[in-house]
Structure 1
Amino acid sequence: MQLKQVIIIHKARNRDSEVWAEKCARQLEQLHCRVLVGPSGPKDNPYPVFLASITQPIDLAIVLGGDGTALAAARHLAAEGIPILAVNVGGTLGFLTEPFEAFQDTEQVWERLMGDRYAVQTRMMLQANILEGSRTHPEIVSDSVLCLNEICIKPASIDRMPTTVIEMEVDGEVVDQYHGDGLIVATPTGSTCYNASANGPIIHPGMEAIAVTPICPLSLSSRPIILPPGSVVHAWPLGDYELNTKLWTDGVIGTQIWPGQRAEVQMAQCHAKFIILREKHSFYQTLREKLQWAGTRVPHSNNHHATSKNISN
C-alpha cells in the first residue's frame, strides 16, 4: 500500500482519540504523506470536505473511535473504494474496530501497511431509496443512502411511543404486514447489533444475505426472515396519519416517508473495506468477547479442545 494521502478521523469530543490522531498525522507527514484530520460525530461530518478537497486518490482512512465512528466512515467511503483502518480509541464495544493493542506501535503499523503485511475484509452494505408513483414506473424522490449495519423503518414522535403497521414486499410479492414498533433490514455485519436485540438471526459477516426482522410485533407468527443478497425489499407504512414514519440508516435519521411513498432496500454495489492487523481474526472469538458468550456457568473441562479452558473461563 502506498501512503501518499491519508485521512484521519477521530471521535468528536474525545481527547484520547484526538491525541492519537495528532500523533499519527505527525508521523505520516514525516513519511512525506499528505494528511487530512477531522472529527466525526453526531454534529461533525468531515467527509464531504475531505472528498471535495482531494487532488489525488485517498490511500487510507484511519478511523479512531468506536463502532459508530467506523459506521459513519463506511457510509461515506465505501462508494469511493477507500480502505478503512478502524481502531478502538475511545469506543465502547468495538465490534468493527481493531483492538488498540494492535495499533499502539504506530510506526510498526506504517511499516506493515507499506509492506502489504495486512489483510482486507470486505463487508456487504445496503442501499435505500424512497420511491413514489406506480409499481411499473416508480420515481426516486430521495438521495440514496448507504448502511453497513441496518436500514430501519419505524415511527418517531416526541409526544408518545407510536407503533406502526408496515407492509413488506420482496421481489414484487407481498410477504406480510407487520404491526409493531417497526422493521429492520440488516446486513450480516448488522445482524449482531439492533437486529440481534430484536431477536433476529446472527449471520456470519463472510456471507452475503439480507435479514428482515420485525421489532416487537403484535403477532407471535411474525418472524424474522433471511433473504438472498439479490432480493429487493419494498416497505411502506399503512395508516400513518400523523406522519411519524421515518427511515433510519445505522441509527442515524435518513429521511421521512410520506403517504404514498415506499422505501426500497437492496444490496449496495459497493462494499466496505476494513484493514485487519490482527494475525488471528475470528468472528466467533469476537462473539465470545463482545457478547460475553461463556457457555455453561459451571466450569467443565474438555480435554479434546485446547481452547475450551479459555471459553469456559
Structure 2
Amino acid sequence: MTREILLLAHTGRRDAVEAAVTVAERLHSEGLRPVMLERDIASLNHVIGDRLRGLPMAVADRDVPLADCEVGMVLGGDGSILRAADLVRGAGLPLMGVNLGHVGFLAESERTELDASVQWVVDQNYTVERRMALDVQVWHAGRHVGSSWALNEASIEKQSRERMIDLIIEIDGRPVSAFGCDGVVMATPTGSTAYAFSAGGPVVWPEVQALVMVPISAHALFSRPLVTDPDSIMAVEVLQREDEQGVLWCDGRRFMELPPGSRVEVTRSAEPVLLARVHQTPFSERLVDKFNLPTTGWRGPVDPANQVPSPDAFHHEEATKR
C-alpha cells in the first residue's frame, strides 16, 4: 500500500521551493508518494522547470483526499503552519513544521534538519501532540452572523486607526469590565507566545489547559490579562457609544467586520490541531532558544546529596533523637 505524504511549502520563497523539491525527491526515493496542492505544483514548475516531471506527484483532494495522507510536512515559518492548519481542518492530519522563517515556535525542526525530518517521516518516528484550538461565534442584533476558528488567537480590534473602540469583556456570562482600547486578544496556550505575548499577556505552557484574554492598550484602571478555565466562555461586545466599527481576526488570516452591538463568543474547540513531534525538548528550553533569552550564570538544581535539611526537618530529627 502506497504511503502518501502531504507537502506544503511557501512557494513565494526560493528557499522553500528548493526545500520542497528536495523533500519530494527524497520521499519518492524512499517509496512514499508526495502529495501537493495543484497551485503549489504549478508554482514549483514555474520556478524550477522540469525537475518535478519525473516524479509521480499526486494532487491533493483530486488524486488523494487530505484525510488519506499520513502526515503533512510544512516548509516555512509559523504563518505557513497556520495556513496548513486551516487547510487540513477536519482531516485529522498531523503537521510537521520545518522552520524556514524567523521564530518558528510551531515548527519541529530547522532548515539544517531537512534530511532528518524526511527520515523521521519515512521511519514514522514521531508522536502526535494535540493542541487546543478556539471556536469563534459572532452575533449581531440577536442573530448569529458568522463562525470561525483559531489555533493561536481571536482578536477584536479597532477598525479606525485614529480612534479607540469601546468594548466590554465577559467571562461565563458575567461582565468583567468595559473600557476604550485598541482591542482584545483571546488566545490558546499555543497563541500565548504570539499576538497575546506582544500585547503583554502571560506565557502559558502548551500542556496547560487554559484560555487567555489580553486587553490591548486599554484606557482603564483594571486591564490585566486574564487566565480562565478551558471550558469557560469568553465574550467581547462592541459598545454603541461612539458608533465605532471593529474587526475580528482569527490567527491574523480570517477576518470579519464587527459593527456596533456585535458580540463575539470564544470557547475551546472540540477539534484540536495535531502536530507531529520528534524532539522531546522541554518548553522552557524552546522558549529560551526561540526568544534568545539570557541564561548566563545559571547553575542548575542543587545535588540532593549537597542539600541542607530544612529547619522543620532538623527539628523533627532532633526531637526523634530525644
TM superposition score normalised by structure 1? 0.81
Aligned residue in 2 for 1:288: 288
- Are residues 1:152 and 2:155 paired? yes
Aligned residue in 1 for 2:140: 132
Aligned residue in 1 for 2:129: 121
Q: What is the deviation of 1:175?
A: 1.5
- Structure with greater helix share of residues: 2
Structure 1 residues 51, 220: CA separation in 2 closer, same or farther (over 3 Å shift)? farther
Return the alpha-carbon distance in structure 2 between the equivalents of residues 82 and 221 of structure 1: 42
Return the alpha-carbon distance in structure 2 between the equivalents of residues 201 and 188 of structure 1: 9
Aligned residue in 2 for 1:208: 209
Structure 1 residues 27, 256: CA separation in 2 closer, same or farther (over 3 Å shift)? same
What does 1:1-313 align with in structure 2 at a 5 Å threshold? Answer: 4-30=3-29, 31-37=31-37, 39=40, 50-51=60-61, 54-55=64-65, 57-89=68-100, 91-100=101-110, 101-105=112-116, 107-113=118-124, 117-134=125-142, 139-142=143-146, 144-157=147-160, 160-239=161-240, 241=242, 243-278=244-279, 280-295=280-295, 299=297, 301=299, 304=302
Aligned residue in 2 for 1:311: none
Letter of the structure 2 residue corresponding to residue 148 of structure 1: L
Residue 220 of structure 1 aligns to a residue in which SS?
coil
Letter of the structure 2 residue corresponding to residue 15 of structure 1: R
Aligned residue in 1 for 2:309: none
Return the alpha-carbon distance in structure 1 between the equivalents of residues 61 and 176 of structure 2: 40
Aligned residue in 2 for 1:42: none
Q: What is the deviation of 1:292?
A: 2.1
Residue 90 of structure 2 aligns to a residue in which SS?
helix
Residue 151 of structure 1 aligns to a residue in which SS?
strand
User: Quick check: 2:181–2:215 contact (8 Å CA) kept in 1?
Assistant: yes
Gaps in structure 1 of 5+ consecutive residues: 40-48, 306-313
Residue 81 of structure 2 aligns to a residue in which SS?
helix
Letter of the structure 1 residue corresponding to residue 131 of structure 2: R
Q: What is the deviation of 1:227?
A: 0.9
Q: What is the deviation of 1:32?
A: 4.6
Return the alpha-carbon distance in structure 2 between the equivalents of residues 75 and 10 of structure 1: 14
Structure 1 residues 250, 6: CA separation in 2 closer, same or farther (over 3 Å shift)? same
Structure 1 residues 132, 302: CA separation in 2 closer, same or farther (over 3 Å shift)? closer
Return the alpha-carbon distance in structure 2 between the equivalents of residues 88 and 300 of structure 1: 28
Q: What is the deviation of 1:192?
A: 1.2
Structure 1 residues 52, 231: CA separation in 2 closer, same or farther (over 3 Å shift)? farther
User: Quick check: 2:135–2:149 contact (8 Å CA) kept in 1?
Assistant: yes
Return the alpha-carbon distance in structure 1 between the equivalents of residues 128 and 221 of structure 2: 41
Residue 195 of structure 1 aligns to a residue in which SS?
helix
Letter of the structure 1 residue corresponding to residue 108 of structure 2: E
Return the alpha-carbon distance in structure 1 between the equivalents of residues 268 and 290 of structure 2: 26
Residue 176 of structure 1 aligns to a residue in which SS?
strand
Residue 82 of structure 1 aligns to a residue in which SS?
coil
Q: What is the deviation of 1:153?
A: 0.2
Bigger Rg over Cα = 2
User: Quick check: 1:132–1:141 contact (8 Å CA) kept in 2?
Assistant: yes
User: Quick check: 1:29–1:35 contact (8 Å CA) kept in 2?
Assistant: no
Structure 1 residues 277, 163: CA separation in 2 closer, same or farther (over 3 Å shift)? same
Residue 191 of structure 1 aligns to a residue in which SS?
helix
Q: What is the deviation of 1:28?
A: 2.5
Gaps in structure 2 of 5+ consecutive residues: 41-58, 304-322
Letter of the structure 1 residue corresponding to residue 148 of structure 2: V
Q: What is the deviation of 1:194?
A: 1.4
Residue 103 of structure 1 aligns to a residue in which SS?
helix
Cα RMSD (Å):
2.5
Residue 269 of structure 1 aligns to a residue in which SS?
coil
Superimposed CA distance per residue, residues 2-51 of structure 1 (whole angstroms, 9 cap, x where no aligned partner):
86222211113111111111222233234152522455xxxxxxxxx944
